[in-house]
Amino acid sequence: MSTAFDNVTVGRHTLRNRVVMAPMTRSRAHGPGASPTELMATYYAQRAGAGLIVTEGVQPSAIGQGYLATPGLHSAEQVAGWRRVTDAVHERNGVIFAQLMHVGRIAHPDNTGLAPVGASAVPAAGTIFTPTGPQEHPTPEPLDAEGIRATIADFVAAARNAVDAGFDGVELHGANGYLLHQFLSTNANRRDDEYGGDVAGRIRLVVEVATAVAEAIGADRVGLRISPANPFNDIVEDGHRETYLALVDALAPLGLAYLHVAEGADTEFTPVLRRRWSGVLILNPYTPDGWTGPEALKLIEGGDADLISYGALFLANPDLPRRLAEGGPFNAPDYTTAYGGDHKGYTDYPGLPDDQG
Ligand SMILES: Cc1cc2nc3c(=O)[nH]c(=O)nc-3n(C[C@H](O)[C@H](O)[C@H](O)COP(=O)(O)O)c2cc1C
């Protein structure tokens, strides 16, 4: 039986514990050209005690950006900014993957100056925050064959940039209603070419991106995040079990570093996926009434997951693994400072007093 504080091998790394910092957009990339700042380096370094840090969503291209002040990995400035972050985390013996997040239709020209793209010309219900306040999501321009090739190339280039910036790997964001999830879905993807229609069509883009990125930087440096049947960002997935079982079967030969499951309401599907996927599984448990708490670590002992990822509690507790090991106490997150702003609610959550004197 493994516990949360046993080592685990993920790709090329032996992690010191099984507590993962879940990816969290914080919208503080105020460096030139959407590049990371010294403040971001401090924030991630504070959390380097995680077995693995997965960064906030990082756009692989300008068109992949949705929200304000999110960082990219498609320019020299951004690579240099991320280098400060990865150096700071490595100085504290941390391991850090960049989450590559292309938002697809969850975007707005007022934030990027660009018309959003998607699987099909189907807008997401709901609004996105822009400099003039919340606005409805526009109808995206469907990616044509050339656009799909360019998108895959952008993921590959960003993954190479991530390695150049000192990251230990990348996590492909296939969850929460962004571009890759839009292709997996049955409502945002209405295509009748080989990237839509049946299950084989809807999983194709994710498999092609994962394959291309794995070829470029090594499969052992590539993870994938999925969120089966999560309706966030106006996603509908009819027959989600069939879709995700086909997806993990198609990915199995690649030998990816891990699968990161952001669990949805169909919690009974998680053990099914667990049995089907022979690789490392990171679980972010379904917690509709709050956030993932210390009790989730029992899922490792029970064999339901190899690692557990924490969002809210890691946001508020820079030394979360130590607090979990010692049974708390835990700072509560303040969601009013989650997105945008300065160090307040970002780098000023206190750690436990250092009892080493
Ligand atoms: C402020 C904030 C930002 C988030 N941004 C991302 C993101 O960029 N990418 C992603 O995959 N999930 C994102 N999430 C979801 C978290 O990774 C996680 O799945 C969610 O918070 C549930 O886990 P928890 O109960 O431990 O908080 C975000 C969550 C929060 C609270």
User: pLDDT averaged over the chain?
Assistant: 97
pLDDT at res. 355: 56
Question: What tens digit of pLDDT does each residue of 44-86 get?
Answer: 999 999 999 999 999 999 999 999 999 999 999 999 999 999 9
Residue identifier of the C-alpha nearest atom 22 of ligand 1 = 311
Please tell me the predicted confidence (pLDDT) of residue 27.
98
54: Cα separation from own chain's centroid: 7
Determine the distance separating the centroid of ligand 1 and the alpha carbon of 6, expressed in angstroms. Answer: 25
Residues with CB under 6 A from ligand 1: 22-25, 56-57, 99, 101, 173, 175-176, 225, 262, 284, 287, 291-292, 310-313, 338
Index of the ligand 1 atom closest to the CA of residue 314 = 26
- Residues with a catalytic annotation lie at 178
Give the pLDDT of residue 145.
97
Hey, whose CA ends up nearest to atom 5 of ligand 1? 24
Angle between helices 199-217 and 145-164 (to 10 degrees): 30
Which helix (DSSP H) or strand (DSSP E) does residue 41 occupy?
helix 38-46
Q: Please identify every stretch of the chain with a pLDDT value under 50, giving residue numbers as ranges.
A: 356-357
226-238 confidence digits (pLDDT tens): 999 999 999 999 9
Report the separation in Å between the CA atom of 226 and the middle of ligand 1, taken as the mean of its atom positions. Answer: 12
Angle 109-112-118 from CA coordinates, rounded to 5°: 65
Which residue minimizes the CA distance to atom 14 of ligand 1? 24
For the chain, which residues make up each domain, given as ranges?
8-311
CATH class given for the domain over 8-311:
alpha beta
- pLDDT value, residue 357: 42
Residues contacting residue 24 through CB under 8 Å, at least 6 positions apart: 56, 311, 314, 315, 338
Give the residue among 54, 70, 81 at the shortest CA–CA distance from 165.
81
Report the nearest-CA residue for atom 12 of ligand 1.
23
